[in-house]
Each structure stands twice: as structure tokens, then as C-alpha cells.
Structure 1
Amino acid sequence: MNIQSFLEHHGVQRNPFAEEDAQTDPVFKEHCILSAYHPVWDKVYGDPSEPATAIVFGPKGSGKTAMRLQIDRHLAAYNREHPHRRVYVIRYDDFNPFLDHFCERLRWRRSKKPERVLEAWRLWDHMDAILCLGTTQLIDQALASDEEQAVANEDSPMLSETRVHGDDLRKLDRTTARDLLLLACCYDQSTASSFTGRWEQFRRKLGYSNWYVQWDLWLGVIASLLAVLLVGYLFRTDRMPWQTAAWVVPLLCVIGFAPYLWRWFRCQRLAMGVRRHMRVGKREVGSLRKVLMRIPPTELASQPLPRFNRTDDRFELLTKLQMATRKLGFVGTIVLLDRVDEPHMTGGKPELMRRFVWPLLDNKLLKHPGLGLKMMLPQELHRDIERESTEFHERARLDKQNVIPAFAWTGESLYDLARARMMACAAEGRSPEPKELFDEQIGYTRLLAVFQSLRVPRHLFRFLYRVLVEHCNKYSDAEPKYAIDSQTFESVLAVYLRDAESSV
């Protein structure tokens, strides 16, 4: 018996339980993302106009990624409705590139062991990664042409709601433009073009003039020419012997280039510091020095750069990014963090995930003004938090955050979720119910009890899919049966629960 004909008999046009991953689930993305919610949705999503941190702990398959995608979609809708009070969204869910760059900076022996690599990971590394994502995204949007933005918006509609217009960039004051160029200098990770060429293009887009920054270089050139002419004249008129001229000319040239050489030395030191201490991104000392030398020394003096192992500079740079985005029409910033169990460095192991996530649990960052982190974390980490020391809890102050200790589903909420997916796949004019798929011997109460035992949506979808396959394999299209009997239901449930327990 064909599964499709079974479902069509109940008014369902396509299988609502075939997909398990929210990121590749068309039923969820096209329909349920705006209609099916977990009961804790309001607490996690909050009010976009006042970004706040929320930390969700849930087992695998409980729908953490689905909730993150829902938050992303709703923030895009909020930005469309409030074009002058938008929220800047940073998606921090792909950690492999940052961890790979981080490993390259460690000693060879240390980089071979994941636990030693993650032990060296600090809060400022997380902040550098977030600043890399936010800065690169902003510059991509700023430099993209109208045609490129249209294509990018079709590929990722949610990004279109955080786009930056060239006219808005040119309206920024010089201080804000300087801050954005400093952020681009340290954190732009795009490989679309050369680093220096992209920075120069962004500078012109901002309307930031720096034509006078090379005055010391021209001073050195002019001074050297005058020295050569003067010494040459003195030598030809026999007023200076050639032995004296041989060392006077180089000396005068060095004196003439002294201001430029001093600025070159200072920018070289800054570049080396950034290269050494910004460990999660690609940056070369030579290209970094070239860009720093295009910023006037008076505007570069005392500016924070990520050239020390501390968070103070990162918080100042984060504030600069927030101030710049605020002038571009964004009232707040939200960071969506998910999939910490997927990087190759953590491998889903609780002790490795703990070393990676714990630095983020710092109240100074979680309560940073105008910043909200939506963190989707594995359930195992909550059990580890409960065993942590008093010092850890005083630093994290989780009592001040919106914490969901268990992203749990009841039998009723899972039933509503299954119903929402069936309604999303229903034929026009039909309103299918999950209980209609089963024989009357399997009552509504029994369904709720079974759904409760499955605990999470992923297990529910897998089980329902197995039941459908097992039932349809028992009957032919010539003699179909359109209700799943109790025996099939219970036998598949027993096998599934046994398999689920053995895989834990």
C-alpha cells in the first residue's frame, strides 16, 4: 500500500513527518514556522525593541534549532514593520571556521588535543567571533550593489531586513565612520576581494577622506630631494668633500623620513598585536599595517584594538558597532547562538561543550546594554551548571537571565504540533487530525500518553513515520486499510523505544 494514497485518504497531500531537521524541513519553513509554537515562546522571544538574553536548555531533537529559526523569521518580520527601529541580527551558529583559525594560533602539540584547545578558549575569543560576523555582514550589505542585494535577498530573505543603504552610510559623522573602518580593519573576514581593496572601497563608501594622512611620507621625499640638491651643490662647489657628502645625504634622508618611520613602527606594533591576540580570524600583519597607516594618527590614538588578552577592548569595540548600527536605524542587537554540539572540536561531548560555552556565561556580556543573546544549549550543560561553584554562579548570574532549564514537551503540545504539520500539508477544505490515522481502539488518551513518552518532536516524527511505513507494508493497494490498528501501533512503539534507549 502506498503511503501517499493512505495520507490522501485522510486529506493530507504530502507526508508531514518525513523530515527531522528544522533547517531542511520545508513543511516547517513554509508553514509551521509562523503557526506552531512551544509554550515558552514568549519568554524566549521577548520584545525586540528591548533585546534581552534568553538561555534554553533542551535535549537533542527538542526543537531548539526550530525555535532559533522562528526567532530569526519573526525578527525579520519585526524589521519590515519597523524600518526605523530595526534589530541587528547576528547568527552565531557555525563555529568551525573560528575554531580552525584558533587552532592555527596555538602550539602544535596543544592544537592536536580538542580538550586543550577549548581550555585555551576565552570570552574575548567569543566576542571576537561575534564581532567578525557582525562586521563582515554589515560591510557585505554596504558594498553590495542593488542587483547583488536583490539576489542575496532571494537566497536569504531574512538578511534583507538588516540591509544597509549607501545613502545612510554617507550621512554618518566622521567619528562613526572611523569606528566602522577600525572594525573593518580588525574583523572583516570576507574573501570576496582583497582585504586592502575591500577596506578602501568601504572607506570611499563612507565618504571618509584621508588624503592628508601621507603628509609625513611626502615630507620625507621632499626633504630627501632638498638634501641631495644641497649636498650636490656644496660638493660641486668644493665646499664639501665627498667623504662628508657620503654620510650627510643618508643622515638628512633619515631625518626627513623620521615622522613617517615612527608612524610605520607604531602601526607595525599595532598590527602585530592584533595578529597575535585576535585568534579567531584571518589577518596578515603587512596588510593590516597598510590599512592602519591610512587612518590619521590623531584619530587612531587611544582607540581600542583587540591586541591584548582582555575583554575591555572587545566591549568597547562591541559598543562602537552598536553605536554605528544605531545610527543606521537599528535600536538593538540580537545574537542567535545554536548548534554548539556540532563543531568537530566538541563532537557532542558534554565536557568539551562545557569548555566552549562556559566563557560566554558572563553577566557582563549577557546584560550588555542593547544586546540580547538567544542561546540554544544542550540539556547536558544544565546539569553541569547545577554542579558548578559559587564563583561561577556569581559571574554568570543566571538568576538574572531568562533561563529555560528544560525545553520539554507535553503529550498535548506534541499532539498539537503533529496536528499543525498535518494541517500545513492538508488538501484544501480538509482539517485532518492525528487521531484519525489510527483505529478507534487507540484512543485519544493513549495517543497523548505515547506522545508524552516520546518527549521531543524528532522522536515523534520518527515514530509516526515508522508507523506509517509499517502499516502500509501490511496492506496492498487492492485491499487497503486506512486506519492503523493497535497491534501495529504498539509493536512499532516497543521497537522504537528500545532503539532510542540503546542509542543514548
Structure 2
Amino acid sequence: MKLQQFLEHHGLQENPFAEEDAQSDHIFQRFCLSATHHPAWDKIYGNPEHPSTSVVFGEKGAGKTALRLQIVEELQKWNEEHPEEKVFILEYDNFNPYLDTFRDRLHGRNRRPERVISYWRLWDHMDGILSIGVNHLLNTITGTQSSDVKQTFDQEKLSRLSRLERRDLLLLASFYNHSHDQPYKTRWHQLRKQLKFSCWKSSLDWVIATILTIATVVGLFWYGVQDLTYWYWVGLGTMLFIFWLPWILRQTGLWWRCWQISRQIRIFDHSPNLLRKVLSCFTRDEIQGQPMPHKDRSDDRYELLRKFQNILKTLGFKSIVILVDRMDEPHLINGNAERIRDLLWPMFDNKFLKHPGLGFKMLLPAEVVYYLNREKDEFYERSRLDKQNLIMSLEWTGESLFDVANDRIRACASSGNELVSTLSISDWFKEDVSREELIRLFAQLRVPRHLFKFLHRLLVEHCQRYTDDSPDWKINHEELNTSFMLYQREQKSVEASSR
């Protein structure tokens, strides 16, 4: 018997349990994104008008990525309904490029995977978040990636930005503009033109020195150079040096500061010379005393973050929500709990997590809970996890998983099926399998991914037992128990081997 025959008999057009990852699960994304939620959804999502931080730990397959997709979906709906109180959405979930560049900055034994993450600090996370945010905003303003609809806004709002805010945005872009689509300098000047930010005053020292040099050379040839003495040439050289001294001093100072910045931003590569050329477009007064990420500290990053928030408020974004996910997936971490801890712990800073106008949704692997429970009082005083909407385990009850299974079955119902609302997973089983027994078995599976794997396997095994001309449309009690015990045994061996 074919699997599709079984599904069509029960009024379904496709297998509800074929996919296991929410990122590629079209059934979840099309039908269950706004209809199927974890029981702790309200605590995790909070109120988009005043975003709060939530810290959630869950084992593999518990639905952390599904939660992230649902949060993004709900925030996009909020943005459509509240154009002047939007939420700027940042998905901080791809750590591979940052960690690769970070590793290249280290030397010798420090480049070993087991040592690399131990050198990661809070300001590296802040640089990563600012880089994602600034690049999303630049993509929207310059129109280089129109497919990203999360950060769209009315381009006319750019005219609301004051000159100081435009200066701040260009300053942020000079530090955190990192794109593989356009050259760094080209993209920055494209942004400058979009913002209508004139910078001719920044070249006055160069223009004055050039004019004086040309005038001196013209005068020299006008009066003749045949009878000039040695000391006259020395004086002429000294005079030309004085003409160019302000420009030389400024460019030397900028290059030194840019070299420091390129050393301190460790998550992507910066060319000090390109950065110098960009910062040369500002006058001395415009960048004098401005925060720059040139030291190994977080103070400058906090100031830059505040500038970024002020710019977003003018553009209609009242707050920022940062979604942290997939911390166990980078190849330098590869699921290792100690390395996840080293990458995650710097973020557990109450000043950072409670920064005004910022809300974190941290969807974290359960493997680090062991280390969390072993931390001392000093760690908890710094992180104040008791104030961060902490969920130690993203648990699913048997009843919740039963509802999830029913929601997916109804989402896959054939078009024109008038009994969609009555479809249930119980319809697949014979009378000797009760609803309570299914709920009890589902509770032992713990998470949606195991539920989907088991039900898909059960369907395949059942269909393989019968022929097309002699089908059986119901699964009996013996099949259910046999398949469940085999699945549990295999799952335990997989979990034991991964420890």
C-alpha cells in the first residue's frame, strides 16, 4: 500500500510529518505559523510596544527555530498595523562568518577550536549586532536588497533626519558597513548621496595647500630659478611643508585611529586606508569626540548603539528586537556545550540585556543549562537572569503535541474537504488505541521533532505491511507499540553516542 493512498483515504493531500526542521517546513510556514504556538508563547513574545528580554533553553527539536519564525511573523504584522511605532527586527543567528574572521586574528595555539571562543567578549557581540543592523538599514536605504521586507520604511522619512543624525548614520556605516555585493567605499558614498550629506568642507585643508603650492610653483617659474641659492631651496621646501602640514597631521591621525579600529573590530576585516578615506569626508569638528570602536571595551559600542536607536526612531522604528538562535551550529562550536557557553556567557550582562529600547529573544540549546546551574553568585548578580523572563526548559506536554499533530493534519487537508475541523490524529488508529494512550506516548517523545519522526516512520511501516489491493486504513495497537519501542530504543542510542 502506498503512503499517498493512506493519506488520501483520510482526506489529506500530503504527508503532515515529512519535514523535521521549521526552517524548511513549508506546512508550518504556510499554515501553522500563526495558528500553532507553544504554551509559553505569551511569556516569550511579550508586548511589541515595549519589547522585553526572554531567555529560553530547549533541547534539539523543541521548536526554537519555529519560535523565531513566529516572532518575526508577528512583529511584521505589528509593523504593518503601527507604521510609526515599528519594531526593527534583527536575526542574530549566523555566527560562522564572524567566528572565522575572529579566529584569523588569533595566533599559534590560540587558533585551536577549543581555545578560540574563550577570547570572545561582549563587545564582539555588540559589533556583530551593530553590523547586522547597520547593513540591513543600508540595504533598505540604497535599495540593494529589496527582498528584505522586515526593515522597510517610507523613504521620505529620510528627510526627517537632522544633519547630526545623518552624520551618525554615515559614521556607523563607516565602521560597520560590510557587504559582499558592493565595494566598501562605493556603498558608503552611495549612502552619502542618498542622505544628501555634503562634505566639501572636509577638503579645505587639502584645497588650500594645493592652491598655495601651485601659486608658489607658478611664482617660482615666473621669476626664474637659475639664480636661486641652496638656502632659498631649503626655505622653499620648508614653506611647502608648512602648507601641507595640517593635511599631513590630520591624515596621519586618522590613519592611526583607523588602524586601531581595524584591530578592535574582530568579526570582519577592515582596511585602515579605506576607512581613513571615508572618515576624511568629515570635518574635524564633526568627528571630534565621537565614539569609535577603537578600544577593547563596550562603552563606545553602547554610545554607537544609542546613536543607531535615535536614527531608527526618526525613521519610525520605536524599538529593536534581537533574535538569538542557532548558537550550537557554527562549525567551530559543532554542538560542544563548553564552546556554546564561552560564546553565550558574555551576553549575560544585565546592562546589555536591559538596555532601553532593546529586547532580546534568546533561543538557546539546553546543553548549557548544566553549566548555568554550576555558576557562582557573581555570575547571577551580573546577569540578573531572574529578571529576563527565564524559561529553563521548553517543554511540551502530551496534550500540546497532540494538538500540534491535529493542526498539521488539518493544514494538509484536501481542498474542498468539508470535515477539516473534525480531522484528528485519532482517526488513523483502530478502536483499541484510545486518545489518552496517544497523549501518553506523545508525552514521552517530548518535542515536536521526535513526534514528526515517529509518526512518519509509523505511517511508512504500516503502509509497507499491506498491498494496494488489500489495504488497511487503520493502525492497530500492536503496530503502534512495536514501532514506538523501536523508535525509543534507537533514539536513546543516538543520544548516548552524541554525549
Asked if these proteins are the same fold (TM beyond 0.5), I'd say yes
Aligned to 1:473: 464
> Once the 2 structures are TM-superposed, how far is the Cα of residue 231 of structure 1 from its aligned partner?
4.8
Return the letter of the residue paired with 2:477.
Answer: S
Cα displacement (A) at 1:171: 2.6
| Aligned equivalent of 2:479 | 488
Normalised TM-score (structure 1): 0.95
Q: Aligned residue for 1:171?
A: 160
The CA deviation at 1:337 is: 0.7
How far has the Cα of 1:229 moved from its partner? 4.1
2:438 pairs with 447, 463, 468, which one?
Answer: 447
**How far, CA to CA, are the matches of 2:407 and 2:225 in structure 1?**
96
CA contact (8 A) 2:89 2:150 kept: no
- Asked if structure 1 preserves the Cα contact closer than 8 Å seen for 2:401 and 2:448, the reply is yes
Residue number among 205, 213, 225 corresponding to 1:224 in the alignment: 213
Q: Distance in 2 between matches of 1:164 and 1:317?
A: 22
SS at match of 1:365: helix
CA distance in structure 1 between the partners assigned to 2:266 and 2:153 by the alignment: 28
Q: Which residue of 1 aligns with 2:104?
A: 104
1:434-458 CA distances to partner (integer Å, 9 max, x unpaired)? 1111111111111111000000000
In the alignment, structure 1 residue 309 sits paired with structure 2 residue 296? yes
Amino acid aligned to 1:42 = D
Q: How far did 1:249 drift?
A: 2.1
Give the letter for the 1:171 counterpart.
Answer: R
Give 3-state SS (helix, strand or coil) of 1:408's partner.
coil
SS of the residue corresponding to residue 198 of structure 2 reads: coil
- CA distance in structure 2 between the partners assigned to 1:19 and 1:236 by the alignment: 85
Q: Deviations over 1:179-200 (max 9, x none)?
A: 1001100001112111111101
Give the superposition deviation at 1:298: 0.4
8 Å contact from structure 1 (residues 235, 245) kept in 2: no
Q: What SS does the corresponding residue of 1:89 show, helix, strand or coil?
A: strand
Which residue in 2 is equivalent to 1:155? none
The alignment status of 1:248 with 2:235, answered yes or no, reads yes
1:285 alignment counterpart: 272
**Letter aligned with residue 402 of structure 1:** N
Aligned to 2:28: 28
Tell me how far 1:115 sits from its aligned partner.
2.1
* Offset of residue 234 of structure 1: 6.3
* Structure 1 residue 388 displacement after superposition: 0.4
Distance in 2 (alpha carbons) for counterparts of 1:24 and 1:401 = 30
1:173-212 mapped onto 2 (5 Å cutoff)? 173-212=162-201
Cα distance in 2 between the residues matched to 1:301 and 1:115 = 41
Q: Which amino acid aligns with 2:284?
A: P
Post-superposition Cα deviations, 1:396-437, rounded to whole Å, max 9, x if no partner, equal 000111111110000000000000000101122123101111
Give SS of 2:17's match: coil
Q: Any idea what the Cα deviations from partners look like across 1:304-331, whole Å, max 9, x if unmatched?
A: 1111000000111111111101100000
Identity, % of aligned pairs?
42
Residue 391 of structure 1 corresponds to 378
Give the structure 1 partner of residue 4 of structure 2.
Answer: 4
1:80–1:161 CA contact under 8 A, matched in 2: no
Tell me how far 1:270 sits from its aligned partner. 1.4
Q: Deviations over 1:367-399 (max 9, x none)?
A: 000000100001122221111011111110001
- Report deviation, 1:170: 2.8
Following superposition, the deviation at residue 265 of structure 1 comes to 1.0
1:409 aligns with 2:409: no
Match of 2:38 in 1: 38
In the aligned structure 2, how far is the partner of 1:96 from the partner of 1:206?
32
CA distance in 2, matches of 1:235, 1:27: 86
Change (3 A) 1:324 1:316: same
After TM superposition, the structure 1 stretch with the greater mean CA deviation from structure 2, 261-270 or 159-168, is 159-168
Q: How does 1:34-433 map to 2 (within 5 A)?
A: 34-111=34-111, 113-144=112-143, 149=146, 152=147, 159-232=148-221, 238=227, 241-427=228-414, 428-431=417-420, 432-433=423-424
Cα distance in 1 between the residues matched to 2:25 and 2:155: 36
Q: Deviations over 1:83-139 (max 9, x none)?
A: 11100001101000111111111114311x112110100000000000000000100
Q: Does the 8 A contact of 2:313 with 2:319 survive in 1?
A: yes
**What is the alpha-carbon distance in structure 2 between the residues aligned to residue 466 and residue 236 of structure 1?**
95
**Partners of 1:326 and 1:292 in 2: how far apart?**
25
Superposition deviation, residue 488 in structure 1: 1.0
Alpha-carbon distance in 2 for matches of 1:81, 1:165: 14
Q: Distance in 2 between matches of 1:144 and 1:233?
A: 53
**How many angstroms does 1:342 deviate by?**
0.5
Confirm or deny: 8 A CA contact 1:223 1:252 kept in the other structure.
Answer: no
CA offset digits 1:234-262 (Å, max 9, x no partner): 66595xx3312322222111100111111
Residue pair 1:224, 1:252 contacting (<8 A) in 2 also:
no
Structure 1 unaligned residues grouped into runs of 5+: 153-158
- Work out which of the residue numbers 418, 423, 427 in structure 2 matches 1:436: 427
Tell me if structure 2 keeps the 8 A contact 1:58–1:379: yes
Query: What is the letter of the counterpart of residue 243 of structure 2?
Result: G
Helix, strand or coil at the partner of 2:413: coil
Distance 2:159 2:425 in 1: 56
